């Protein structure tokens, strides 16, 4: 009897050690790939933001080599035999799988464009990938930053202030990014498009303040600068007034302790934002959506939240990103809806997610010439519909 117990204990110890070792290897492999991704993105970014540098034949081979390496890295994250893919497969956050597929799909498109001689198209896609990195890396305060001294690097030479802040944000160097973003509001310019740059910078400060730092005072500091500036555009001041009200309201709230309370509050914030949103792309509700999405991302990362609530969280995040990404090309909302469908298929929640996804797809392929979706997209739509609908 004692021998059997001892054998059982040894077996458990062995299996535990194997699991621990496998997880350790997966984390180390993942970090290595992310470090490579960060280094290549840092080297590629100055070429993406410059028309002349990107089109210069001297840089052609370098750009193509970087994109091929990024493409290989993205494919490895979706390869079940790769150690790093274990972290995606076992992640508490079910949306990680679709986000990694989004990255792979975009890099496939960028590489195809370069190989077909459509460099301008590839440049747009690659800039969009930088945006995806920023949106992914600013979901919450978890995750490792890539601390590299960029200030004295050649990559920073020639970059304007806003692009420097974007590169810092994409590589999770938040303190440096905040310093630059906040500095933008200390210098007023009458150059064309300056007010829109202020709005972009303000939204990035709010994003970092709400979801990374979770500090309303940090956001208020920038909002007050906008409100006090005599030359700030009226649309921006109008946004800032509501942002200030929502940040002050946040300061007065009591901390939420249970996951159930946090989930209910996130739903309440999204409902409030939707009721107060006057038109598509209305940015006055930006703080509300940031707060709600920050809470929901934290819940997705939890191992104790039940499957039904995670599926609904994905649905709510899809709605939040319809507003947060209204002026970008990333379509993160669609990826959260698809995550919801595949995570809890053949359920009432999956049907709700499919309905929102279907509307987004039809709007995306509609224009002055009517509706024109490629056959592959319609085929994928039918697949998701079958996956969402209850089994007969």
3-state secondary structure 309-370: HHHHHHHHHHHHHHHHCCCCCCCHHHHHHHHHHHHCCCCHHHHHHHHHHHHHHHHHCEECCE
Q: Using CA atoms, how far apart are residues 348 and 316, in angstroms rounded to an integer?
A: 14
What are phi and psi for residue 371, nearest 5 degrees?
A: -100, 125
356-374 in b/e form (b: 16+ CB < 10 A) is: bbbebbeeeeeeeeeeeee
Q: Using CA atoms, how far apart are residues 286 and 111, in angstroms rounded to an integer?
A: 34
Place of tokens 């994250």: 77
Q: Using CA atoms, how far apart are residues 32 and 82, in angstroms rounded to an integer?
A: 13
- Strand, coil or helix: what is 371? strand
pLDDT of residue 3: 63
pLDDT of residue 10: 47
Structure tokens at 285: 């509700």
pLDDT of residue 327: 60
Q: Which residues, in sequence order, are CB contacts of 324 under 8 Å at separation 6+?
A: 286, 289, 290, 293, 332
* pLDDT (tens place) for every residue of the chain, 392 residues total: 556 554 554 454 444 444 445 566 667 777 788 888 888 888 898 888 888 888 989 999 999 999 999 999 888 887 776 766 666 777 788 888 888 888 888 889 999 999 999 989 899 888 888 888 887 778 887 666 656 667 777 777 778 888 888 888 888 889 999 999 988 877 766 545 567 888 889 999 999 999 999 999 999 999 999 999 888 889 999 999 999 999 999 999 999 999 999 999 999 999 999 999 988 889 999 999 999 999 999 999 999 999 999 999 999 999 999 998 866 656 889 989 999 999 999 999 999 999 999 999 898 888 777 777 778 888 999 999 999 999 87
Structure tokens at 160: 């304007």
pLDDT of residue 377: 84
Model confidence, pTM: 0.86
pLDDT of residue 148: 65
pLDDT of residue 19: 45
Say how many C-beta atoms besides its own lie within 10 A of residue 130's C-beta: 19
pLDDT of residue 38: 84
pLDDT of residue 37: 84
Q: Vertex 162, ends 332 and 73: CA angle to 5°?
A: 45
Q: Using CA atoms, how far apart are residues 177 and 168, in angstroms rounded to an integer?
A: 5
Q: Using CA atoms, how far apart are residues 384 and 353, in angstroms rounded to an integer?
A: 10
Q: Are 270 and 262 in contact (CB under 8 A)?
A: no
Pairing of strands 366-367, 370-371: antiparallel
């Amino acid at each position: 009897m004692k021998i059997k117990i001892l054998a059982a204990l040894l077996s458990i110890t062995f299996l535990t050690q194997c699991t621990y070792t496998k997880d350790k290897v997966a984390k180390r492999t993942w970090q290595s790939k992310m470090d490579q991704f960060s280094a290549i993105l840092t080297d590629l970014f100055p070429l993406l933001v410059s028309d002349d540098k990107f089109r210069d034949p001297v840089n052609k081979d370098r750009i193509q080599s970087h994109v091929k390496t990024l493409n290989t890295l993205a494919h490895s994250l979706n390869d079940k035999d790769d150690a790093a893919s274990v972290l995606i497969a076992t992640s508490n956050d079910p949306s990680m799988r679709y986000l990694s597929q989004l990255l792979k799909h975009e890099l496939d498109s960028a590489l195809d464009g370069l190989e077909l001689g459509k460099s301008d198209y590839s440049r747009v896609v690659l800039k969009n990938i930088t945006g995806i990195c920023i949106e992914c890396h600013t979901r919450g305060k978890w995750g490792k930053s890539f601390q590299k001294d960029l200030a004295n690097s050649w990559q920073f030479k020639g970059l304007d202030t806003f692009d420097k802040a974007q590169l810092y944000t994409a590589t999770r160097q938040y303190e440096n990014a905040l310093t630059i973003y906040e500095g933008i509001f200390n210098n007023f310019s009458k150059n064309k498009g300056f007010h829109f740059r202020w709005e972009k910078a303000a939204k990035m400060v709010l994003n970092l303040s709400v979801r990374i730092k979770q500090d309303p005072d940090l956001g208020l500091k920038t909002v007050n600068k906008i409100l006090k500036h005599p030359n700030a555009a009226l649309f921006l001041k109008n946004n800032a007034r509501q942002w200030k009200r929502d940040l002050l309201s946040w300061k007065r709230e009591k901390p939420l302790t249970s996951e159930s309370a946090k989930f209910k509050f996130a739903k309440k914030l999204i409902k409030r934002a939707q009721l107060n949103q006057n038109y598509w792309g209305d940015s006055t509700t930006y703080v509300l959506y940031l707060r709600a999405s920050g809470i929901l991302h934290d819940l997705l990362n939890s191992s104790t939240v039940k499957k039904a609530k995670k599926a609904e969280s994905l649905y709510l995040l899809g709605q939040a990103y319809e507003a947060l990404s209204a002026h970008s090309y990333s379509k993160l909302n669609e990826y959260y809806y698809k995550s919801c469908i595949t995570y809890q298929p053949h359920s009432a929640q999956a049907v709700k997610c499919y309905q929102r996804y279907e509307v987004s797809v039809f709007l995306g392929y509609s224009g002055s010439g009517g509706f024109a979706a490629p056959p592959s997209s319609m085929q994928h739509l039918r697949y998701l519909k079958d996956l969402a609908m209850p089994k007969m």
